Amino acid sequence: MSTQYTIPSEWKSAIEGKCPRCRKGEMFSAPLLSFKSKKMRENCPHCGLKFEKEPGYFYVAMYVSYAFVVAQLVTASVATYILTGNLESPWLYLTVAIAIAILMAPFNYRYSRIVLLYWMTPQFKFQEKYYLMPNKEDI
Ligand SMILES: [Zn+2]
């Protein structure tokens, strides 16, 4: 008898907000589209990885978030221009920019940290032994 398992892909785990080391534990306490508090957990509930590697580590995520915001604002401005053809009113663009910034804030908060931990933190590479570790609830 052999045990069969499929390790979820890096992208799938990142999009779902799973821990980068075990790809099982949730990094956040609630899903993105929920009204509950979406705070980040301190440790992975599955493998115990401490997400904030060192104090202030998530300040780096601000730069990632900044890049996201710039990309979203450029996209939104171009889309506004294509849809309305307006080149006169700065207020239209300002309103769109503020709305986009507010709407995208939860997304940017979450995915800037995910990008940081998945692709900018080599110490947090996926390790199969943590994936195969039995779930805490099953012990
Ligand atoms: Zn983990």
Question: How far is residue 90's CA from residue 98's CA, in Å, rounded to a whole number?
Answer: 12
pLDDT, tens only, 47-92: 999 999 999 999 999 999 999 999 999 999 999 999 999 999 999 9
Centre of ligand 1 to C-alpha 24, Å, is 6
How confident is the model at residue 132, as a pLDDT?
A: 93
CA 123 to chain centre: 18
How confident is the model at residue 135, as a pLDDT?
A: 80
Centre of ligand 1 to C-alpha 66, Å, is 27
In the predicted model, is pLDDT for residue 137 greater than 80? no
Centre of ligand 1 to C-alpha 28, Å, is 12
For the residues 7-16, what does the mean pLDDT come to?
95
Centre of ligand 1 to C-alpha 6, Å, is 17
In the predicted model, is pLDDT for residue 123 greater than 60? yes
CA 74 to chain centre: 21
Is 138 inside any structural domain? no
In contact, 28 and 17? CB cutoff 8 Å: yes
Is 2 inside any structural domain? no
- pLDDT tier, 3 (very low <50, low <70, confident <90, very high otherwise): low
In contact, 95 and 84? CB cutoff 8 Å: no
Domain count, the chain: 1
Centre of ligand 1 to C-alpha 37, Å, is 20
- pLDDT tier, 95 (very low <50, low <70, confident <90, very high otherwise): very high
Percent of the chain surpassing pLDDT 70:
95
Concatenated DSSP letters for 8-22? PPHHHHHHTTB-TTT
Helix (H, G, I), strand (E, B) or coil at 40: strand
In contact, 60 and 119? CB cutoff 8 Å: no
Is 72 inside any structural domain? yes
Domain with 92, as residue range(s), is 10-133
Centre of ligand 1 to C-alpha 88, Å, is 51
Is 3 inside any structural domain? no
For the residues 39-45, what does the mean pLDDT come to?
94
Is 116 inside any structural domain? yes
Centre of ligand 1 to C-alpha 11, Å, is 16
Is 38 inside any structural domain? yes
Is 45 inside any structural domain? yes
Centre of ligand 1 to C-alpha 123, Å, is 13
Centre of ligand 1 to C-alpha 76, Å, is 35
For the residues 19-41, what does the mean pLDDT come to?
90
Q: Tokens for 9? A: 């892909």
